[in-house]
Chain A
Amino acid sequence: MKTQALITMVLTNIAFLGFTAYFFRLVLKTPLDKPDNDDIEYPHGG
């Protein structure tokens, strides 16, 4: 495989894999908050 193709492929894959893992890990670490009173009755706009 050409060196240029290999470098482009590896760097791009590392970037996407790395950022996906990083952000998804943050999501897993901070679950949804429990609903609070503000959530129960939203004012209806329009």
Chain B
Amino acid sequence: MANNENWGSRVGLVLAMAGNAVGLGNFLRFPVQAVQNGGGTFIIPYLVCFLLLGIPLLFVEWSMGRFGGKHGDHSTPFILSNMAPKKQFLWKYVGVFGIFTNLAVAAYYCYLESWTLSYTWHSIAGSFEGQTAEGIANFFNNYVLNPGTEAFAFWIFCLVLNTYILSRGLSGGVEKVAKIGMPLLIVFGIFLAYKGLTVQEGVDGAIFSSSEGLNFLWAPTPGSSVWDPKIWVAAAGQIFFTLSVGMGSIQCYASYMRQRDDVALNAMSAGWMNGFVEVCLGAAIVIPISVGYFGIDWVIENTKNGGLGLGFRTLPYLFQQWGPVIALVSGVFWFGLLFFAGITSSLAMGTPCMGFLQDEFKMSRERSAWSFGAAIFFLGLPTVLFFKYGVFDEYDYWAGTISLVVFALLEIILFAWIFGMEKGWKEINAYADIKVPVVFKFIIKWVTPTLLLFVFIGAFFKPVGNDWSAVLQGRWVLDDGSVINTMLNSGLHKKIAATSDAAQLEELNKQLTYINLSRLLLVAMFAAITSLVYIAYRKRVKEGRWV
């Protein structure tokens, strides 16, 4: 069955691309990264990385996608393969990352998405009314650590909803959701940002005004320096993850553009829109509200493991301080906003798998959508059942973090050095509605790969406490969060060695087993996709489509 879909409108395409990039990280990860990395000091490296890493990667991925679509390819294995000389046959297997990442991330992301939907429902039902901070925190812990019928029901509903929308196609499903979801997300965000910026000391139980949180976020933290490598690695990482580059979903969306469509302006528009949501809205909600009610020290202590806790454990309680009506509206807007941020991203994760199945195995759109739905059900089940043993986090770490960096580094090497910068530059500028400054040619060839290499090295060899100044002084002790020590389970082994309590020891050993099993599952998934790519390649040779 021919895969000849197109986007219905340019606005729809840009909103879908922006929706792909805008995720929960814009509201929960960015503000936490900023406060942990020097507050106002963080913003300079963030802006520089946006211009030198984010925008160039967007240009590269959009033009790779349009190039692939021109040849009838809608997923990265054969898009990459078509850009390389035929004797370099391994590129199609590098492209496996572009399917693997989407499948593995969608598997746990849909579960996360279902929490937002469940919390929207609970906000309407008034479940948080009159509860203490501890009660609401326990509600969340119980929801994720001991998933009951409700957690399963919302998860299955999310899976079916995603699959159904995908089965309606790009213009009939994905584009419609983006056109409704993105404007709503921005409206919800503006309301919550207004509430965040107007917290007043002594009003509704607030102990500080919002300026306290804003100072914490936007003024340079005393002692922080813009030359600190830690801040640059964190900023580059944030830019990288917020734009959804290195996933393969941008290439897939762009492959459904028409040959004569612009990529330069579309990429700029989607990229800046994501930045607007992150910087203007994301920074004005979680931190100012939490600091207003709990103070800076509490927020520092409670964001050590990221911003998820603030979003689900803390905000529902704080909304209650604003009275029942505003609490209901704020709850629905906050979790509704997170839901739209989530679903516009998870839909983008479905399209590369569907594109691959449609292109290579001639599946219909509906059948490929339901195959994707079935796959993420089976792959996502361990993340729901064994959340407390860290399976969810393992998926997030390997598929949602490391795999992205590896793929982005390889794809930019292909684009700038193997496909060639001259041809690549022509691809970016073909039918462009804006003039791309020629300096980007140099940036894409030299600066972006170098920055990516830093992010890559930063992840693999992260020093203790992410303290890169110590490395510069010759003291390089690996952090337990570095890729190498994570692979060796160093942190967990240390915990096991330090535990004498038998019950706790049993739990930790169980956790180790589940972590290793989930890694095996991810490796098996990668191997299975690689086999499918090989079968597709043999099929192309047999059918005379491998020229």
Residues of chain A touching chain B, judged by Cβ–Cβ distance below 8 Å, are 1-2, 4-6, 8-9, 12-13, 15-17, 19-20, 23-24, 26-28, 30-33, 35-36, 38-39, 42-46
Q: How distant is B375 from chain A, measured CB to nearest CB, in Å? A: 25
The docked-state distance in angstroms from the alpha carbon of A42 to that of B81 is 17
Q: Is the beta-carbon distance between A32 and B261 smaller than 8 angstroms?
A: yes
Q: Is the CB of A23 within 8 A of B272?
A: yes
Which residues from B are CB-within-8-Å of A1? 211, 214-215
Q: Which candidate, B65-73, B93-101, B337-345, B411-419, is the interface stretch facing chain A? A: B65-73
**With A32-B261, A46-B82: A26-B434 Cβ-Cβ less than 8 Å:** yes
Contact between chains at B11 and A4 (CB < 8 Å): no
One of B82, B259, B272, B273 near A45 (C-beta < 8 A)? B82
Known A32-B9, A38-B260; contact A8-B218, beta-carbon cutoff 8 A: yes
CA distance A38 to B9 in the complex (A): 18
Residues of chain B with a CB closer than 8 A to A8's CB: 40, 43, 218-219
Given contacts A19-B268, A36-B260, A45-B547, 7 further A-B contacts (CB under 8 A): A5-B217, A13-B280, A26-B433, A43-B72, A45-B72, A45-B73, A46-B547
Task: Give bound CA distance, A2 to B47, whole Å.
Answer: 21
6 tightest A-B CB contacts, nearest first: A45-B71, A5-B219, A5-B218, A1-B211, A23-B269, A20-B276
Q: Which residues of A contact B279 (CB under 8 A)?
A: 12-13, 16
The count of residues in chain B whose C-beta lies closer than 8 Å to any C-beta of chain A is 48
**Chain A hits for B70, CB < 8 A:** 42-43
A23 with B268: CB separation less than 8 A:
yes
Q: What are 12 A-B pairs with beta-carbon distances under 8 A?
A: A5-B39, A8-B43, A19-B272, A20-B276, A23-B272, A27-B11, A30-B265, A30-B433, A31-B11, A32-B10, A38-B259, A43-B70
Shortest Cβ distance from B275 into A: residue: A16
Q: Which residues of B contact A16 (CB under 8 A)?
A: 272, 275-276, 279-280
- Please measure, in the bound complex, the distance between the C-alpha atom of A32 and the C-alpha atom of B211, giving whole angstroms: 44
User: In the assembly, what is the distance between CA of A12 and CA of B540, in Å?
Assistant: 50
* Contact of A27 with B69 in the complex, beta carbons under 8 Å: no
Q: What is the number of contacts between chain A and chain B, taking CB atoms within 8 Å?
A: 121
Distance of A25 Cα from B540 Cα, bound (Å):
43
* Interface of chain B: mostly helix, strand, loop or mixed: helix
Instruction: Write out, one digit per residue, whether chain B residues 4-44 have a CB within 8 A of any chain A CB (1) or not (0).
Output: 00110111011000000000000000000000000110010
B266 interface residue per 8 A CB criterion? yes
- CB distance A27 to B10 under 8 Å? yes
Given contacts A17-B280, A38-B259, A44-B545, contact A26 B265 (CB under 8 A): yes
Q: Give the docked Cα–Cα distance between A38 and B257 (Å).
A: 12
Closest A-chain residue to B278, C-beta based?
A16
Scan residues 428-458 of chain B and give those whose CB is less than 8 A from a CB of chain A: 433-434
> Which residues of the partner chain B approach A5 to less than 8 Å between Cβ atoms?
39-40, 214-215, 217-219
Min CB distance A30 to B, Å, is 5
Cβ-defined contact, A12 with B272, below 8 A: no
**What residues of chain A lie closer than 8 Å to B13, measured between beta carbons?**
32
* Max chain A Cβ within 10 angstroms of own Cβ: one of B70, B262, B272, B540: B272
Name the B residues within 8 Å of A44 (CB-CB): 71-72, 545
Interface: B196 (CB within 8 A): no
Closest chain B residue to A10 by CB distance?
A: B218
Least CB distance from A23 to B in Å reads 4
Residues of chain B lying within 8 A (CB to CB) of residue A4: 40, 218-220
- What is the bound-complex CA distance between A44 and B287, given in angstroms? 51
Residue B546 lies at the interface, judged by CB distance under 8 Å to chain A: yes
* Selected contact of A46 from candidates B81, B218, B266, CB within 8 Å: B81
A26 to B88, CA, bound (A): 40
Residue B78 at the A interface, CB < 8 A?
yes
Q: A40 to nearest B CB, angstroms?
A: 8
Asked whether any CB of chain A lies closer than 8 Å to the CB of B367, the reply is no
**A12, B43: Cβ atoms closer than 8 Å:** yes
When the two chains form the complex, which single residue of B71, B214, B283, B547 contacts A42, counting CB atoms closer than 8 Å? B71
Q: Are B258 and A46 in contact (CB under 8 A)?
A: no
**Which residues of chain B have C-beta atoms less than 8 A from A23's C-beta?**
265, 268-269, 272-273
Contact between B269 and A26, CB atoms less than 8 A apart: yes
| Residue from B72, B217, B258 within 8 A of A32 (CB atoms) | B258
* B47 close to A12 (CB less than 8 A): yes
B72: which A residues are within 8 A, CB to CB?
A: 42-45
A44→B9 CA distance, assembly (Å) = 25
- Asked if residues B9 and A24 are in contact (CB atoms below 8 Å), the reply is no
* B222-273 residues at the A interface, CB under 8 angstroms: 258-262, 265-266, 268-269, 272-273
Other-chain residue from A9, A12, A24, A39 in contact with B14 (beta carbon distance below 8 A) = A24
Residue among A1, A26, A27 with the highest chain B CB neighbour number at 10 A: A27
Query: Is B218 within 8 A of A27, CB to CB?
Result: no
Q: For the complex, what is the distance from the CA of A8 to the CA of B43, rounded to whole Å?
A: 8
Per the bound structure, the CA–CA distance linking A28 and B10 in Å amounts to 8
Q: Kindly state the separation between the CA atoms of A38 and B259 in the bound complex, as whole angstroms.
A: 7
Most buried by B among A9, A13, A26, A39: A9
